């Protein structure tokens, strides 16, 4: 009888924990999220840009952060480096080849948070038809009520990607072999 009671309490504990997980939609409509990149230009300066179109969802439980999950879909044709001719080149076969690979996607596989709030998000990024495991260093920004009666939660994260890992073989010089991505994510809790 004691084993049955303990098993029942354990199962109720698991069910209760999952009740506290909140699901969020990334706020791209309100322009409160961004995916930015920077890469060295010839080793002399930074070329920066962003992806204007992306969407995603995430779940987060403050009592069980390791259960967090995120999915982000990116439209590589929305690349914006503030230079139309360069953006056309980035969409072409030398880089994103958006006609052949019209979407990029990140799906998390694990999330861990330390006592200071710093976190590591791991997952699989599919870009240019290649799927690779990536690690994103995450800083939780904050969470709480918004002025419109909703609840929001935000994070920022950074990672470095080697272009050749995703079969982007264009030679940009030795200083330009990898790109830094910064993700600023604000989610609106689903009701």
Over residues 97-122, the mean pLDDT reads 95
- The pLDDT of residue 18 is above 70: no
Give the per-residue pLDDT at 12: 44
Over residues 41-66, the mean pLDDT reads 95
Residues in the chain: 191
Is the CB of residue 93 less than 8 Å from the CB of residue 167?
no
Extract the tokens encoding 113.
């948070």
Average pLDDT along the chain: 90
- The pLDDT of residue 1 is above 90: no
Read off the pLDDT of residues 134-183 as tens digits, 9 standing for 90 and up.
999 999 999 999 999 999 999 999 999 999 999 999 888 888 899 999 99
Q: For the beta carbon of residue 1, count every other beta carbon within 10 angstroms.
A: 5
Give the per-residue pLDDT at 172: 86
Which of the four pLDDT bands, split at 50, 70 and 90, describes residue 115? confident
Domain 21-189: what homologous superfamily?
A: Lipid/polyisoprenoid-binding, YceI-like (2.40.128.110)
Which sequence spans correspond to the domains of the chain? 21-189
Percent of the chain with pLDDT over 90: 79
Is the CB of residue 76 less than 8 Å from the CB of residue 51?
yes
Q: How far apart are CA 184 and CA 135, in angstroms?
A: 15
Which of the four pLDDT bands, split at 50, 70 and 90, describes residue 61? very high
- The pLDDT of residue 92 is above 90: yes
Is the CB of residue 109 less than 8 Å from the CB of residue 123?
yes
Q: How far apart are CA 176 and CA 157, in angstroms?
A: 21
Give the per-residue pLDDT at 43: 86
Give the per-residue pLDDT at 8: 44
Instruction: Give the residue, 2 or 118, on which the prediction is more confident.
Output: 118
- The pLDDT of residue 88 is above 70: yes
119-127 and 79-80 strand pairing: unpaired
Give the per-residue pLDDT at 19: 55
| Strand partners of residue 119 | 113, 138
Question: In 3D, which of 176, 181, 175 has the Cα closest to residue 50?
Answer: 181
Which of the four pLDDT bands, split at 50, 70 and 90, describes residue 34? very high
């Amino acid at each position: 009888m004691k084993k049955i009671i303990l098993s029942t309490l354990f199962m109720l504990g698991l069910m209760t924990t999952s009740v506290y997980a909140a699901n969020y939609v990334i706020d791209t409509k309100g322009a409160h999220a961004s995916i930015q990149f920077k890469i060295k230009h010839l080793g002399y300066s930074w070329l920066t840009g962003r992806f204007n179109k992306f969407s995603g969802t995430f779940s987060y439980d403050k009592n069980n952060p390791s259960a967090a999950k995120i999915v982000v879909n990116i439209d590589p044709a929305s690349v914006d480096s503030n230079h139309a001719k360069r953006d056309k080149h980035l969409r072409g076969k030398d880089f994103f080849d958006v006609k052949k690979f019209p979407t990029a996607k990140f799906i998390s596989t694990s999330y861990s948070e330390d006592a200071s709030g710093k976190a590591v998000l791991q997952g699989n990024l599919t870009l240019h038809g290649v799927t690779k495991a990536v690690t994103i260093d995450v800083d939780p920004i904050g969470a709480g009520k918004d002025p419109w009666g909703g609840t929001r939660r935000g994070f920022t994260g950074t990672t470095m990607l080697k272009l050749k890992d995703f079969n982007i073989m264009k030679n940009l010089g030795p200083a330009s072999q990898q790109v830094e991505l910064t993700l600023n994510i604000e989610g609106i809790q689903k009701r």
